[in-house]
Amino acid sequence: MDVLSKSDPQIVLYMKNHEDIWKETGRTDKVSNDCNPVFAQPIQISYKFEERQDIRIRVFDLDDPGQSIGMADFLGELEIPVGQIVAVRSLTKPLDHPRFQECGTITITATEFSCYDHDDDGSHDFIGYFITTLAQLRDRANASTTVFDLINPKKLKTKKDYSNSGQVKMAECRVEKTYSFLDYIMGGLQLNCTVAIDFTGSNGDPQTPRSLHYIGAPEGNHYQQTWQAIGQIIQDYDADKLFPAFGFGAALPPHGQVSFEFALNGNADNPLCAGVPGVMESYKSSLLTVGLSGPTNCAPMMRNVSRLAIIAAQSRTAQHYYVLLILTDGQFTDIYDCIGAIVEASDYPMSIIIIGVGNANFEDMERLDADKKALQFNGRKASRDIVQFVPFKKYAGNSGALPGAVLAELPRQVEEYYRKRRITPLSKLDEESEEEDSCPSDSESEYSY
């Protein structure tokens, strides 16, 4: 933009808040006289997997040290979800400008991050502490008795005969490095999401406005609103953005046979839909061709997706994790068979998210969620909790809060699976040396339904 010298670029980062207002989040350093700058100063943001976080990166030419951004020459901008950056670590995109067709590119890199874990209410009762080193822990763990006194500083000052506030007896000492959900995502982990939509008769005639499948509403029906809110977030963690999409509980033409896993796009051999819009279009097309029937059986869908997770589990790398998103208007008719399918799937890289649409009684769905008590089937206990249930009506009119509730448990479920199996994230070096994985991605999988 300068006549006698090169531009002096600086980046300003904006983030969209819950009111869809862009707020400045941070700025880089200014690089003088350079049209290919490398900005040394990072901009820190708070990353939340369960929310769609849109950022706007704007590049300005600041000629004078005291010049305001409003007076600087505008060089170009880029809008992008944070999830896309995190999922690939580093990406290069063209900058947009209202006057110039080409104004350069920008490379964004997720370089480092910190993880914080907080209790729900932040409350706790302090008993005491002990101080030691890792070397001391290892040495003392080999002794027959390893005991540490817990010291409460307040009691130590006020009580003359105070010795401790209890003791900790060390039964075993093992030092392990733990990894976060973000470690796995930045290591190349793909979240392969399958969508399953309820086509049972209890939804009501799709041609009438009272139906849960009615298409005429400007904001879309509850099924559409739910998939739009969830899909736009989870698609950033799937490289090909192809979603297997199915319906269950419908009578299919020409003979009216009921199916519990029919492809929404009508292609049983290739049920993949391109992105969020592709699923929406296939869903609307299906409403015109199939008949709503029943019952509400979901165990077949659970087992068919877990088949892919079983294949992924054969690889000792964190490359593919499967998510089954079920949208239903009522409780499952085959609830006990579903429990069995969930208990079996708990051993594999898979999670199940169930969203209850409408005003039905979803008491049994809360049971499947199993936050308080692990599911059991035929005497076998689930190895981990893999189900999250959320009633849509709780967030009706506030669809922006829905993804946070729906996706809140998924990072923990991913971490728990790989931690139990001592599987570490793939580093860049691992990816280069890794042989071609035998685990299929969505586009490589063979679906037999």
The CATH number covering residue 95 comes to 2.60.40
**Confidence tier at 427 by pLDDT (50, 70, 90):** low
Residue 290 phi/psi, 5-degree rounding, is -105, 165
Domain that holds residue 26: 9-109
User: CA-CA distance, 419 to 175, in Å (whole number)?
Assistant: 14
Bridging pattern class, strands 262-263 and 320-328:
unpaired
Question: Is pLDDT larger for residue 290 or for residue 180?
Answer: 290
User: CA-CA distance, 2 to 17, in Å (whole number)?
Assistant: 34
Residue 379 domain-assigned (yes or no): yes
Matching residue, tokens 């733990």: 178
CATH of the domain at 256: 3.40.50.410
Structure confidence at residue 141 (pLDDT): 58
8 A C-beta contact, residue 333 and residue 364: no
Q: Would the pLDDT of 445 be above 50? A: no
Q: Alpha helix locations (H) across 198-274?
A: 222-234
- Tell me how many domains the chain contains: 3
CB atoms within 10 A of CB 406: 24
Q: Would the pLDDT of 212 be above 50? A: yes
Nearest one of 373, 362, 300 to 331, comparing CA atoms? 362
Q: Would the pLDDT of 116 be above 70? A: no
**CA 256-261-262 angle, 5° bins:** 55
**Confidence tier at 178 by pLDDT (50, 70, 90):** confident
Average pLDDT over residues 95-108: 89
Same domain, 186 and 173: no
Same domain, 253 and 166: no
8 A C-beta contact, residue 261 and residue 300: yes
User: CA-CA distance, 233 to 82, in Å (whole number)?
Assistant: 10
Matching residue, tokens 């997720």: 110
**Confidence tier at 287 by pLDDT (50, 70, 90):** very high
- What token pair was written down for 69? 């951004």
Structure confidence at residue 441 (pLDDT): 52
Q: Would the pLDDT of 114 be above 60? A: no
Which range (90-99, 252-261, 381-390, 433-442) has the least confidence? 433-442
Residue 1 domain-assigned (yes or no): no
Same domain, 389 and 241: yes
User: CA-CA distance, 121 to 104, in Å (whole number)?
Assistant: 47
User: CA-CA distance, 338 to 344, in Å (whole number)?
Assistant: 10
**Confidence tier at 449 by pLDDT (50, 70, 90):** very low
Structure confidence at residue 218 (pLDDT): 84
Residue 246 phi/psi, 5-degree rounding, is -135, 160
Pick the last residue of a domain from 109, 132, 167. 109
Same domain, 421 and 344: yes
pLDDT, averaged across the chain: 85
pTM above 0.85, yes or no: no
Residue 75 domain-assigned (yes or no): yes
Same domain, 230 and 360: yes
Same domain, 279 and 411: yes
Same domain, 160 and 36: no
Pick the last residue of a domain from 133, 149, 178. 178
Same domain, 168 and 41: no
Cα torsion 254, 260, 262, 268 to 10°: value is -100
Pick the last residue of a domain from 161, 178, 195. 178
Average pLDDT over residues 287-300: 94
User: CA-CA distance, 24 to 30, in Å (whole number)?
Assistant: 16
Same domain, 153 and 285: no
8 A C-beta contact, residue 388 and residue 354: yes
Average pLDDT over residues 124-144: 70
Structure confidence at residue 47 (pLDDT): 84
Same domain, 144 and 185: no
User: CA-CA distance, 440 to 309, in Å (whole number)?
Assistant: 10
Nearest one of 80, 72, 61 to 14, comparing CA atoms? 80
Bridging pattern class, strands 350-356 and 387-391:
parallel
Structure confidence at residue 402 (pLDDT): 85
* Burial degree of 232 (CB within 10 A; 0-12, 13-18, 19+): middle
Express each pLDDT in 335-370 by its tens digit.
999 999 999 999 999 999 999 998 888 888 888 888
Nearest one of 112, 5, 24 to 63, comparing CA atoms? 5
Give strand pairing partners of 320.
190
Same domain, 240 and 373: yes
Structure confidence at residue 432 (pLDDT): 41
**Confidence tier at 435 by pLDDT (50, 70, 90):** very low
What 8-state DSSP symbol labels residue 191? E
Helix (H, G, I), strand (E, B) or coil at 22: strand
User: CA-CA distance, 311 to 378, in Å (whole number)?
Assistant: 24
The answer for 84, left when phi > 0, alpha when psi is -120 to 50, beta otherwise, is alpha
Average pLDDT over residues 423-440: 57
User: CA-CA distance, 5 to 90, in Å (whole number)?
Assistant: 30
Residue 35 domain-assigned (yes or no): yes
- Taking the alpha carbons at both ends of the chain, their separation in whole angstroms is 59
Any long-range contacts for 38-43 (C-beta under 8 Å, 24+ apart)? 39/11, 42/111, 42/112, 43/11, 43/13
Structure confidence at residue 117 (pLDDT): 47
Residue 81 domain-assigned (yes or no): yes
Same domain, 204 and 324: yes
Nearest one of 46, 50, 71, 47 to 60, comparing CA atoms? 71
8 A C-beta contact, residue 196 and residue 449: no
